[in-house]
Amino acid sequence: MSRAGTVKEITSTANPTIKAARALQARKARNESGLFLAEGQKLIEDALSVGWWPQMVFALQAAGSEGHQAQLAAKVRAAGSDVIFTNATVMEKLSRRDNPQTMIGVFDQRFTALNAMTGGTLVALEAPRDPGNVGTIIRTIDAVGASGLILVGPAADPFGVETVRATMGSIFHVPLARADSAQFGAFVARWQGQIIGTHLAASKDIRAIAPQEPQLLVMGTEQAGLTDELAQKCTTLTKIPMVGAADSLNLAVATALALYELRRPFL
């Protein structure tokens, strides 16, 4: 039988548990510990709905926070997670925000092995830098029912605070894999389906593509676009039409438009 988690009250920002949780704002500490922070009751409920239990939950002890929050805290405690009741100062430090959420969970990161990523519709991002873009794309993959995300090369941390915020809970619903360019090359060599790269120099309009699963959508970097190396691995290069003076679309916007085109028959 699993043990119930402990309940503590900690109100000092100098406490080692609080310091260790704060450190998870930095990528180095996340990499070393394999943990990440997820803020808010909604995200914690998203995690619980798929059996992704937190190691610990920080909850603001304030008037009026008894009802739903107390039930949620009792639920995670019964499942073995520690619950730490704390004050607004500590929650502000943990979230680096003036108006912090009333609950923050510490979770184990989860990556899916590259070889376990199967289509459906998969998305690969080449070296995305912007955490907000990565989070928004994870949220969009979830919304359209695509099957997961592969981060190719050096990428923004999908478990960073800003990324997790931008996913709005979808971080707990979308399989994530990582690959360097050689591993991704081996993966696409085995891929049984279309590999659709988006490229500003392509002549084929994305609306002319016949979506057929399995399909892999490949998006380029924010700065320089798809590298020649990845473009050559695609079976089709396609462009999202633009008629104004903008020379490109934001990466997350382009991914969303492409995904809605490619998932159109399945929605």
List of residues contacting ligand SAM (CB under 6 A) = 198, 200, 219-220, 222, 224-226, 239-240, 242, 248-249, 251, 254
User: Cβ closer to ligand SAM: 106 or 226?
Assistant: 226
Closest approach of Cβ 162 to ligand SAM, in Å?
Answer: 18
Q: Minimal distance in Å, beta carbon 16 to ligand SAM?
A: 42
Judged by beta carbon, residue 110 or residue 264, the one nearer ligand SAM is 264
Q: Residue 174 Cβ, how far from ligand SAM at the closest point, in Å? A: 19
Q: Which residue's CB is nearer to ligand SAM, number 90 or number 251?
A: 251
Shortest distance in whole angstroms from residue 204 CB to ligand SAM: 10
Q: What are residue 140's DSSP bridge partners?
A: none
- Nearest CB to ligand SAM, comparing residues 82 and 126: 126
CB of 114 to ligand SAM, least distance (A): 20
Nearer to ligand SAM, 44 or 226 (CB): 226
